[in-house]
Amino acid sequence: MENLPELKQFFKDKTILVTGGTGSIGEQIVSSLLSYQPKKIVIFSKDDSKQYLMKQKYLTYKNLFFLLGDIRDYDSIEYATRGTDFVFHVAALKQVPICEENPFEAVKTNIIGSENVIRACIFNNVKKVVNVSTDKAVNPTNTMGATKFISEKMFTNANTKLNNKETVFCSVRFGNVINSRGSVIPLFMKQAKDGKPLTVTDPGMTRFIMSISNAANLTLKSIYFSRGGETFIFKMKAIRILTLAEVIQSHYANKGVTNLTVQVVGSRPGEKLFEELIYDHEVNHVVENDELYVILPQKGKDILPFRSCPSPMIRSDKLEFLSKDDILKMIETLEDTW
């Protein structure tokens, strides 16, 4: 994904808040932002252990500040947004099985927490806010997807409601982010290293996939392009989960890990066989460039440099899949970063 030269001027000398900034994606966003010389980046999260580790990693950066708090607590997020230009809202409960088992907690974080972020940003006249969402918000079959669907609606609606006169809100939809915490590739690689069966829930399952650096860059570009109410989607590749497991099985067998098996364990509650990027009713409001689809709000303004898009590719089972060679290269690259 190419960098926009305009981003340097856009972020330079700005004060930026990243909720969930100690998570995989949040930290990558922080790392990407540092190259644009912002005045200040505030990393807001509720995990003191992750904050400690991240502080040690970025000790030389004097424009990073860490703030312990929870988006469920309005007062703490209201304090965090004071004097802020841009907010990247990444904090969420993202694990499908955990949200399925704890729907009340998922609602508190993903819906009520998001409302707190919205209200705090409007109250403090934040310029722009981007909400990190997921393809699971499209035709959701699980609690996590349903809560993210609602949060997307809130971020679109916030552009014209709650007496909002200044703050621009938008969302981004991600697929599976390679090497993010809890994602399938690190799970399979750990299972293989430990000599355990690679657990595939359904042999027909497909997913959209993107690198963590592309996820961060998409988010930075989205907040730059947004005029209010859009949903930005990276044009991703698709992958068969069974093929992924087979490539990892073969790769580790060549490293001497013998007797590895692929075990089909059955779909988990709320799990879909394929993912979708865009609702049917959104298709007529989609524009694109070479990297992104953008769903415009029904009363939204066109955004340059995007063009009309009559037939977006919206299902993970309808795309050309990554080849085994491509998957192997991806695995080898990931191993180099571990």
Catalytic residue annotation: 136
Selection from 25, 333, 47 nearest residue 182 by Cα: 25
Three-state DSSP class for 246?
Answer: helix
Three-state DSSP class for 70?
Answer: coil
Token pair, residue 246, equals: 């087979």
- Burial of residue 59, with CB atoms counted within 10 A of its CB: 0-12 exposed, 13-18 middle, 19 or more buried: exposed
Selection from 36, 30, 40 nearest residue 5 by Cα: 36
Question: At a CB cut-off of 8 Å and minimum separation 6, what does 104 contact?
Answer: none
Calpha distance 311→116 (Å, rounded): 36
Calpha distance 71→236 (Å, rounded): 30
Calpha distance 102→141 (Å, rounded): 15
Calpha distance 234→90 (Å, rounded): 16
The residues facing 233 across adjacent strands are 173, 293
Q: What is the DSSP letter of 127?
A: S
C-beta of residue 189 within 8 angstroms of C-beta of residue 334: yes
